[in-house]
Structure 1
Amino acid sequence: MLILLPPSEGKKPADSGAPFDAEDLQFPALNPHRQQLLSALAEVSRADDALKVLAVGKSLVADVVRNIELHTEPSAPAHTIYTGVLFEALGYDRLDAAARKRADADILVISALWGAVGFGDRIPAYRLSMSVKLPEIGKLASWWKPKLTPVLNERAGDGLVVDCRSSTYAAAWTPPAENTVAVSVFQLRGGVRKVVSHFAKHTRGELAGHLLTRGVEVETPEELLEAASERWEAELVPGTGRKPHQLNIILPEDHAFKAVGN
């Protein structure tokens, strides 16, 4: 099983630790492309129009300045660098040792800077979104797609892919449709299903945490539906041709956040 997550836009910088070593990251075949982006990002971040190009506000100047010297910034495991609703709901620090081992093996974060990283890969905090268009590189999702496809197709193999990415990051790699289940989250409002992005992030994080803590490998879309149904109202929409399966999680009208394990 492979669980795909988007990164958080905000990152928590490591307090200490050695700089990242590209040779220690998963998918070393991506290292030349990572190096190209690191150089391009540093150049953009030095420019007078850096905030505009990176589509961030003045409050994030420190994040942009950090981009200039990422080779010397302290690094930490990706699961501590990425923050936000989804990662808090997944609750890596609340998992037992066996579930953490599964998280490190089964989770990939699709990244605008790194392409793809595992939860245990040591990276520095950075500021770069997949929606950004960098000079001489272009839109990052389009730039990454031909580079990620052969590498991640090999990693996915014929196993189940649980796709919890947002559309921005989903554009960077399309997994084999027949083995992929895209996770969608709705909430009932007045008896009608509505897309709720904040609840969607939280619920996808909860689903990832649930899959890691069950102790039973999920190998098919039907088994994923069974696992999700242990906690939520859920349905599986079969894929057709190039379209992946879709797992719909339907939250009740009175839904509220709950911490993993509670």
Structure 2
Amino acid sequence: MLILLPPSEGKTPASGGAAVDLSALSFPTLEIARKQVMESLAEVSGRDDALEALGVGASLAHDVERNRRLHAEPAAPAHRVYSGVLYEALGYASLTAAQRRKADASIVVVSALWGAVGFSDLVPAYRLSMSTALPGLGRLASFWKPLLTEALADRASEGLVVDCRSSTYAAAYAPPVSRTVTVDALTERNGKRTVVSHFAKHHRGEFVRHLLTRKGRMPGTPQALLTAARERWNAELHEGTGKKPPSLVLVLEG
């Protein structure tokens, strides 16, 4: 199984340790592109209009300043650096050793800076969104899309792809429709359903944790994924189209 996650907006900097080694990251064919993004990001982050260019407020000026020295910043495992709502719900630190190995083997984070990284890859904290356009590279989703299609081809062919990304990061890579299921959440109250927005990240994190901690094999088909989801949630599997994969919907009580 391949589980695709978005990065978190908030990131926890490593307290110490060696800097990132680009040659040691997963998907080594992306190394040159990663250097290009790092260099362009460092240049933009040193400009007078850096905050505006990166779409962030003054409270994140320190994060933007860090972008200028990512080659020297200490690195930590991706599952520790990414520390937002989804990752809190996933709770990597509280998994057993066997469950952590399963997470490391199955989870890939699609990133504006790295393209894609494994869950245990060592990376520094940074500030960059996939919707950003960088000098010489353009919109990062467009920049990464052909590169990720090639780099992830083998991983995406190994089994079911469970796509827990937001639309911003989904734009950078489209896994094979025939092998993919997206994960969404809806709230139902008095027969009326509404889309869960911010808290969808939390529920996706809980769902990934359930896949990692439940007994038995990882689901290999959309129907098996639905069966796994129904062990804990009221869930539905919505059919896809020729261009859109099926969607697993967690239906939550309002």
TM-score (ref. length: structure 2): 0.98
1:121-178: per-residue Cα shift (whole Å, max 9, x none)?
0000000000111122111101110111011122211510000000000000000001
- Give 1:68 deviation, angstroms: 0.4
**Counterpart for residue 259 of structure 1:** none
Is the contact between residue 158 and residue 179 of structure 1 (CA under 8 Å) also seen in structure 2? Answer: no
**Counterpart for residue 59 of structure 1:** 59
1:107-128: per-residue Cα shift (whole Å, max 9, x none)?
0110000000111000000000
1:162-221: per-residue Cα shift (whole Å, max 9, x none)?
000000000000000011001110011332111111221111000000001114221110
- Give 1:84 deviation, angstroms: 1.2
1:3-43: per-residue Cα shift (whole Å, max 9, x none)?
10000011100001100111110000000000000000000
**Counterpart for residue 74 of structure 2:** 74
**Counterpart for residue 229 of structure 1:** 230
Is the contact between residue 178 and residue 239 of structure 1 (CA under 8 Å) also seen in structure 2? Answer: no
Secondary structure of the residue aligned to 2:113 is coil
Unaligned 5+ runs, structure 1: 254-262
Identity across matched positions, percent: 61
Is the contact between residue 104 and residue 118 of structure 1 (CA under 8 Å) also seen in structure 2? Answer: yes
The separation in 1 between residues aligned to 2:135 and 2:192, in whole angstroms, is 44
- Give 1:241 deviation, angstroms: 1.6
The separation in 2 between residues aligned to 1:134 and 1:86, in whole angstroms, is 27
The separation in 1 between residues aligned to 2:43 and 2:241, in whole angstroms, is 44
**Counterpart for residue 94 of structure 1:** 94
TM-score (ref. length: structure 1): 0.95
**Counterpart for residue 207 of structure 2:** 207
The separation in 1 between residues aligned to 2:193 and 2:6, in whole angstroms, is 24
The separation in 2 between residues aligned to 1:65 and 1:242, in whole angstroms, is 40
1:151-230 alignment, distance < 5 Å: 151-215=151-215, 216-230=217-231
Q: How many residues align?
A: 253
The separation in 2 between residues aligned to 1:123 and 1:224, in whole angstroms, is 31
Unaligned 5+ runs, structure 2: none
The separation in 2 between residues aligned to 1:186 and 1:242, in whole angstroms, is 22
Q: Structure 1: which 4+ aligned runs deviate by more than 4 Å?
A: none
